[in-house]
Chains A and B, each alone.
Chain A
Amino acid sequence: DGGITQSPKYLFRKEGQNVTLSCEQNLNHDAMYWYRQDPGQGLRLIYYSQIVNDFQKGDIAEGYSVSREKKESFPLTVTSAQKNPTAFYLCASSIQLAGGQISYEQYFGPGTRLTVT
């Protein structure tokens, strides 16, 4: 999985609780991403970060929060405001090319399957 680790692999929570998913990379990549994958749908971007202490909302950021205090870490918090949090969550990273453009290649972690009941 290209030097990206996500933990835990499976996570169970009760409705109304916040939960934080871990993502760590040792590839020295500048950019990191969080995606959500649901059955029958393509991956959807939640948040991304191109540099430490900076991040931007993706297409479905509502109910989620992130931080980027270290280059190698990009944790995602699923808050109680997320109406349908049960899903497979994927973290990815890529290098930053000269001029700020993001590299073509994104490396994905193994994913965390979150189930909220």
Chain B
Amino acid sequence: KNQVEQSPQSLIILEGKNCTLQCNYTVSPFSNLRWYKQDTGRGPVSLTIMTFSENTKSNGRYTATLDADTKQSSLHITASQLSDSASYICVVSAMAPDKLIFGTGTRLQVFP
């Protein structure tokens, strides 16, 4: 069964600290993996998209990694800011049929 699991479910950190969010998937055949940021009551916004051949991709203070062998991805946030408080959703795309499988998200809260 195609599944995407994220951990932790929720995370609290202090402003300026780093954090890492995890995503494990069992999707096959794999096409690509995406990380989205979703502010409360808003639609998700794309942070990164990685294909099978990409190990790392950065977007400002966000760095995503992908290990296609172990089927794991992580999203590292550097020097967190209050505006980073949001849910972060890992989404894996399967091929044949083309289908997106969404994780349940990690709720990050950054406190001053």
Contacts and interface: CB of A to CB of B under 8 A. Distances in A.
B15 to A, nearest CB: 26
Interface in A1-53: 1-2, 4, 6, 40-45
Nearest to A9: B41
Contact of A104 (B32, B44, B102, B104): B32
A63 interface: no
Contact of A102 (B89, B98, B105): B98
- Majority SS at the chain B contact face: strand
Interface residues of A, number: 24
B34 interface: yes
Contact of B105 (A42, A101, A113): A42
B46 A105 contact: yes
Interface of A: 1-2, 4, 6, 40-45, 88, 90, 92, 101-102, 104-111, 113
Given A4-B43, A45-B100, 7 more contacts: A1-B42, A6-B43, A42-B101, A42-B105, A88-B41, A106-B100, A108-B44
Interface of B: 4, 32, 34, 36, 41-46, 49, 89, 93, 98, 100-105
8 contacts: A1-B42, A4-B43, A6-B43, A42-B4, A104-B34, A108-B43, A108-B44, A111-B43
